[in-house]
Structure 1
Amino acid sequence: MKRVAGLSPALSDVGETSLGTLPGVGPRVAEKLAARGLVTLQDLWLQLPRQYEDRTSILPIRDLRPGVAAQVEGMVEAVERGFRYRPMLRVAIVDDSRATLVLRFFHFRAAQVAQFAPGVRLRCFGMPRAGQHGLEIVHPSYRVVDAGEIALGEQLDPVYPAVEGIGPATLRRLIGLALDRLPDEATLELLPAELRQQLQLPSLRSALLTVHRPPRDADVAALLAGSHPAQRRLALEELLAHHLGLRRQRIALQRHKAAPLTGGGTLVQRLGDALPFALTQAQQRVYLQVRDDLAAHSPMLRLVQGDVGSGKTVVAAMAALLAVEAGKQAALMAPTELLAEQHLSTLRGWLEPLGVRVAWLAGKVTGKVRAAAMADVASGAVQVVVGTHALMQEGVVFHDLALAIVDEQHRFGVHQRLALRDKGSGDRVPHQLVLTATPIPRTLAMAAYADLDVSSIDELPPGRKPVHTVALSADRRPELVERIRKACAEGRQAYWVCTLIDDSDEVVAQAAQSTFEALSAALPELRIGLVHGRMKAAMKQATMRAFKDGALDLLVATTVIEVGVDVANASLMIIENAERLGLAQLHQLRGRVGRGSAASSCVMLYQAPLSQLARQRLETMRQTHDGFVIAERDLQLRGPGELLGTRQTGLALFRVADLARDADLLPLVRGLADQLLADAPGNADRIVARWVGGAARYAAA
């Protein structure tokens, strides 16, 4: 971890001390710990337990409950060793309540078997489950005890996330040794005392000791739920660290200069007059926010979120025209060629009649065509460039890039956004406009996008009808085939979305290939196309274009069409194995229909039986069409990690904080960040270094 200027000597000396100073940590152990990011004592202090085991009491076997971990003690009554399918050892113990429990082992040594002689007394801990002959525990932790031994644990035993190559007991010992070197409260504490008193939260030292070494009378339920005051204290500081890291990045970036785009808006006015629709109030409001940002000498950093079909592309086009009118260039980057090509078609239709040249740069643009396009971009002959990640390659040089528009940014790696930002000319960086059709819950936006101003287009264009949504069991597929036949006979088009490309024995899902073949046989009169992620880009593009042009009646596809072309004539969406998809994905897929004037339907086919989580997701889809409501529900059901996507370096990978559970702390975090940056910037640095370390520099890319 990088040494931060201004650290007090005590924190610097102790918290940043190498783990190599602990007894038993040689080069090999240190290397295994470092592979998990555990390098200093401070890293071990913050390696928090994922759960607790209560060995402070012994429960009678008769009181055991399936799924509730407990400690029992009993005498070995019988031992059975078998090799029917694989080696197995069953040990029956009986306690003073005369109830019997079976201990089952699949991995064991001969020396272990010798321990389990009838009459030996065992103390065991584990999770009971229903077996063939009553309750059993598979691979319990256990030890042989003497008759009459009564010594029990004084505190709950922490269970830490596994570190490859290091056993749980060794890890627990090392964390204990690190905790023994915790500095005093005055050295560790970085939050104002009045705030802790107001929230009735313990000091950092007290919170760490409580979480690692919970006393015997600790509220186990609160600890397991993550709501104990000690965990709340740690969550507050961790959220604050991430927020400060992002804010610091924003402050650093805004020290750069950007070209103020202050044209008269003539091109924007001409575009507005030419559009066949009027902007909604939400679009107008967001455009004015973007226009004000672009007029500044510091770079704009704005996220525009809006539901599928809410009109984000129009706002992006108007922003691009402001750059063009100022004599600069704008670039729009999309994560897939399908989406980028759709943007290209839309922008050319809108901008070229205004005299604005739009270039296309994607992976499939090669040879002389690519060289010519790159020359036009470098010379300034084209003002707007559309493409995929190919825009960020080293060979692409812009004449004067003033605005970078990134669509569906959560699908891009952080370094990719950094690369596009670095395409500015001279000492100026481009303004950044980020678009997403996946509405982000307010709590998540506050935590994950503290470096961005967030605008919401929370109004759909007039005339858009809600999509009628139903959930049907998979055994009703034949009815749907007839429904497709009827819809297509009336001149409409339909999607059938599958979650796999090839059949798999491991997952109960109808693959796209076999579905395409089955529907082709059942509906020979229809023109049916197939699209999936393993097809060559050219074939995929051609099939999607044929569907858009009306040359296909039915498109069988995987979720590659989640972010795809707009087909106004498509009015029926069937999602196979809908129980396997998250709410955001289901909502995105549903947004592919209902884009024209015809009444549209979305049918979610599910494989029974449904899990409780899947049932909640499908019910939410039936109840609401509001992407923001769906996003909030998705956060509750799935947590922030999946919503943000795995590529968001440094975000949502919290040790103790949970954005859904700790949402009420976020407004407090924002106010506290303002206070620290103004009054104690040194403490702000130390909090970021403690929790985030080097990850902070990527988080605000």
Structure 2
Amino acid sequence: MNPFDTPIEYLKGVGASRAEVLKKELGIVKFDDLLKFYPYKYIDRTKFYKVRDINPDLPYVQLIVRVTRKEVLGENRSKRLVAQAQDDTGVMELAWFQAINWVEKGLQVGKAYIIFGKPGMFNGKPQMSHPEMELYSSQTRDRKGNMTMQPAYNSTEKLKQFSLDSKGLQKLTASLLELHTKDIYENLPLYIVNRYRLMSRQDAFRNIHFPEDANKLAEAQHRLKFEELFLLQFKLLKNKMLHTQKFKGNIFDKVGEYFNTFYNEKLPFPLTNAQKRVLKEIRVDTQRGVQMNRLLQGDVGSGKTVVALMSLLIAIDNGFQTCMMAPTEILANQHYQTIKALVGDDFVEVGLLTGSTKKKERNILHERLMSGELKILIGTHALIEDTVQYKNLGFVVIDEQHRFGVEQRSKLWRKNVVPPHVLVMTATPIPRTLAMTLYGDLDVSVIDELPAGRKPIETVHFYESQRLRMFGMMREEIAKGRQVYVVYPLIQESEKLDLKNLEEGIEVMRHEFPLPKYNISIVHGKIQAAVKEEEMQRFIAHKAQIMVATTVIEVGVNVPNASVMIIENAERFGLSQLHQLRGRVGRGAEQSYCILMSGNKLSHDGRKRLDTMVRTNNGFEIAEIDLELRGPGNIEGTQQSGVLDLKIANIATDQELLIQVRKCVEGIFEKDPQLALPEHQVLHQANLSKQAGLSWDKIS
């Protein structure tokens, strides 16, 4: 048995009660969890201060002083031990208010000590309360203090009740390393360790907890980040390879009448080079006899739906049925309307199945699916119900896939004996490094250009004092026959956040844009679904010039005539959300505008978000900055996936390392797919899924 799989209660100094609190508070269950509970900072014990340099603004400091006097003062609660200490630059006071008898007994007047603690001032003199004390001798002179860089560990109030503050956790970790450093085995091939000049695994764990110096700490961090990312990429690429071996796929060996007729007679605009490239990638995938498992990334308005439809038509040409699953009824309806408009009524049958579909209509859909007559079914989670049976399902498109759980997605596979090909789509651009991590076991296609004729959306940032200019732009666009979105972050006034709210906004809009000249449509999450749909339809039908809404319109509303998107309190939104909202306009041939309204006081991050939106329309560049600002754990879709349970590496700041590691792992599988070479045996022995601390929520 691996010693690091030992339950934490068996480590000396832990026991049952401490083990329970470690598990509840920090998730530390076994030795390995403690080994990988890394310090969050280090206190530098390599530097020694002089008494004259001390001031209360300094953090923890270390000095060498000689104790010249000590005395116990006061009675009962005011009792304290005070000592005078000095070096060649001055005198300071040391004070203890607890464990006075014990400290006084061990404190030797005339002896030199290394003292460490938080400095302060008392009666104009430097002072330190409850310093750490160590007798200064020839041995400690060589060691320069009790250690060179002291680790600081995150703790909680509950842990502190069990004497498991940072110091307590430090002791447990020291005990673990003392007993089991020899049991830390190398888990990377030796030639990889040498090629990338990595610190040994034993040295890395020693130096991440108790670094000899700053350079050794940096080496340890680099080694452990490399290892963590290596194990993650190894798992992803191994999954991808196993998937290719395990899941056979139907071969689409022809492009036939459906595809060619649509391409030659129905396609409303020429395909971009990016769309053609992606279709080619899908075409190659579906001819290999292996189940396709591809992620399609494309910015808002880049033409993903047309690519998805043409892929479905290739499947239909080869005798298969197809489906498209979306996370909401609004989005499913939008896809249905878009695809119906593209193919027409008499070309190929398209069905819609959502939670709102009437029972009679459902029964007809079920029959036509079973008979094979219904070729394209679009819907929500309703598509995966057991009652929905296909005659021969060959191709599945999943839109905004991060909103579906792995179990929901896998149910679609079971609808056919040979699993259907899968294309997952997202309109949220994902930074390259995040895509390599979240979707590293999928093939990735990117549509990185907009269709011809689309004008870039012009984005401006207005402060509250410029509101009249905003109203003026609205009136100008409405006078041209265009429509306007106004989006608010809240529905009702919040006492905690001084934000413009929807209800107040509606009143302002009604005052500035009164009936009968102007009509306003109101949409938010608190109104009934039927009323929401009615309000949206009023706007779509151009019976309302202004839609006042919350972020419920972030996805699923497609009104090419809408040319202005106004976002109130824009500084309160994340970058990806701002970009998604902006993507609601710019869908027609006319120039469109996005107006970001904000208060006068902006945080550094708030200003950077708004400046980024004004500067660029490139969703991938925006996603990179969003990752930099928010970190990977908060990017949409990553927290639900659980993939980024990284202990030390950071996808936002370790991008170059991740790319290097990915190439390294790809090289291993290219050279030795079965890991049969002697130098790769270590990769069989390593319990990779456990070591990486990963959980997989994806199609694999």
Q: CA deviation at 1:676?
A: 4.4
Q: CA deviation at 1:30?
A: 3.3
Q: TM-score, normalised by structure 1?
A: 0.83
Select the residue among 247, 250, 268 that pairs with 1:256: 247
Alignment correspondent of 2:683 = 683
Contact 1:64 1:70 in 2 (8 A): no
Alignment correspondent of 2:297 = 305
Alignment correspondent of 2:199 = 202
TM-aligned CA distance change 1:66 to 1:269, over 3 Å: farther
Alignment correspondent of 1:383 = 375
Alignment correspondent of 1:340 = 332
TM-aligned CA distance change 1:71 to 1:365, over 3 Å: farther
For 1:94 and 1:553, locate their aligned partners in 2 and report how far apart those are by CA, in whole Å: 80
| Counterpart secondary structure, 1:556 | strand
Alignment correspondent of 1:17 = 6
TM-aligned CA distance change 1:688 to 1:648, over 3 Å: farther
Matches within 5 A, 1:519-598: 519-525=509-515, 526-598=518-590
| Counterpart secondary structure, 1:651 | coil
Q: Which deviates more, 371-380 or 479-488?
A: 371-380
Provide, for residues 266-313 of structure 1, a one-character-per-residue CA deviation record: whole Å limited to 9, x for no partner.
211111221221111111111111111122221101111111111000
TM-aligned CA distance change 1:148 to 1:325, over 3 Å: closer
Alignment correspondent of 2:75 = none
TM-aligned CA distance change 1:206 to 1:267, over 3 Å: same
Give the number of equivalent residue pairs.
649
TM-aligned CA distance change 1:605 to 1:304, over 3 Å: same
Q: CA deviation at 1:63?
A: 6.1
For 1:495 and 1:306, locate their aligned partners in 2 and report how far apart those are by CA, in whole Å: 23
TM-aligned CA distance change 1:147 to 1:496, over 3 Å: same
Contact 1:41 1:178 in 2 (8 A): yes
Q: CA deviation at 1:374?
A: 3.9
1:460 has 2:447 as partner: no
1:218 has 2:214 as partner: yes
1:479 has 2:469 as partner: yes
Alignment correspondent of 1:611 = 603
Select the residue among 178, 182, 192 that pairs with 2:189: 192
Letter in 1 for 2:621: V
| Counterpart secondary structure, 2:351 | strand
For 1:690 and 1:493, locate their aligned partners in 2 and report how far apart those are by CA, in whole Å: 54
Q: CA deviation at 1:98?
A: 9.3
Matches within 5 A, 1:26-37: 26-35=15-24, 36-37=26-27
Matches within 5 A, 1:114-133: none
For 2:366 and 2:187, locate their aligned partners in 1 and report how far apart those are by CA, in whole Å: 52
Matches within 5 A, 1:255-294: 255-272=246-263, 273-294=265-286
TM-aligned CA distance change 1:143 to 1:388, over 3 Å: farther
Q: CA deviation at 1:14?
A: 1.6
Provide, for residues 547-581 of structure 1, a one-character-per-residue CA deviation record: whole Å limited to 9, x for no partner.
12211111112222222222111111111111122
Q: CA deviation at 1:700?
A: 4.4
Letter in 1 for 2:148: Q
For 1:560 and 1:486, locate their aligned partners in 2 and report how far apart those are by CA, in whole Å: 26
Alignment correspondent of 1:156 = 149
| Counterpart secondary structure, 1:695 | coil
Give the unaligned 5+ runs of structure 2. Answer: 71-82, 108-112
Contact 2:642 2:694 in 1 (8 A): no
For 2:438 and 2:598, locate their aligned partners in 1 and report how far apart those are by CA, in whole Å: 33
For 1:360 and 1:488, locate their aligned partners in 2 and report how far apart those are by CA, in whole Å: 34
Contact 2:403 2:637 in 1 (8 A): yes
1:651 has 2:639 as partner: no
Select the residue among 23, 33, 51 that pairs with 1:43: 33
TM-aligned CA distance change 1:339 to 1:671, over 3 Å: same
Alignment correspondent of 1:177 = 175
Alignment correspondent of 1:7 = none
TM-aligned CA distance change 1:19 to 1:415, over 3 Å: same
Alignment correspondent of 1:107 = none
Q: Which deviates more, 259-268 or 232-241?
A: 259-268
Contact 1:576 1:604 in 2 (8 A): yes
For 1:58 and 1:514, locate their aligned partners in 2 and report how far apart those are by CA, in whole Å: 60
Contact 1:651 1:699 in 2 (8 A): no
Contact 1:562 1:588 in 2 (8 A): yes
| Counterpart secondary structure, 1:190 | coil
For 1:559 and 1:232, locate their aligned partners in 2 and report how far apart those are by CA, in whole Å: 41
Alignment correspondent of 1:90 = none
Q: TM-score, normalised by structure 2?
A: 0.83
Alignment correspondent of 2:309 = 317
| Counterpart secondary structure, 1:289 | helix
Alignment correspondent of 1:9 = none
Provide, for residues 456-484 of structure 1, a one-character-per-residue CA deviation record: whole Å limited to 9, x for no partner.
11111111111111111123223322332
Alignment correspondent of 2:438 = 448
Contact 2:566 2:595 in 1 (8 A): yes
| Counterpart secondary structure, 2:204 | helix
Contact 1:510 1:577 in 2 (8 A): yes
Q: Which deviates more, 242-251 or 375-384?
A: 375-384
| Counterpart secondary structure, 1:209 | helix
Letter in 2 for 1:201: L
TM-aligned CA distance change 1:634 to 1:58, over 3 Å: same
Is the radius of gyration larger for structure 1 or structure 2? 2
Select the residue among 586, 611, 625 that pairs with 2:617: 625
Alignment correspondent of 2:130 = 143
Alignment correspondent of 2:485 = 495
Q: CA deviation at 1:453?
A: 0.9
Letter in 2 for 1:415: E
For 2:625 and 2:362, locate their aligned partners in 1 and report how far apart those are by CA, in whole Å: 44
Contact 1:352 1:358 in 2 (8 A): no
Alignment correspondent of 1:241 = 231
Q: Over the residues paired in the alignment, what is the CA RMSD in angstroms?
A: 3.8
For 1:699 and 1:435, locate their aligned partners in 2 and report how far apart those are by CA, in whole Å: 13
| Counterpart secondary structure, 2:459 | strand
Q: CA deviation at 1:540?
A: 2.2
For 2:56 and 2:377, locate their aligned partners in 1 and report how far apart those are by CA, in whole Å: 61
Instruction: Report the identity percentage.
Output: 37
TM-aligned CA distance change 1:332 to 1:146, over 3 Å: closer
For 2:358 and 2:21, locate their aligned partners in 1 and report how far apart those are by CA, in whole Å: 45
For 2:386 and 2:173, locate their aligned partners in 1 and report how far apart those are by CA, in whole Å: 45
For 1:627 and 1:562, locate their aligned partners in 2 and report how far apart those are by CA, in whole Å: 15
1:663 has 2:655 as partner: yes
TM-aligned CA distance change 1:125 to 1:651, over 3 Å: farther
Provide, for residues 236-256 of structure 1, a one-character-per-residue CA deviation record: whole Å limited to 9, x for no partner.
111111112222222232212
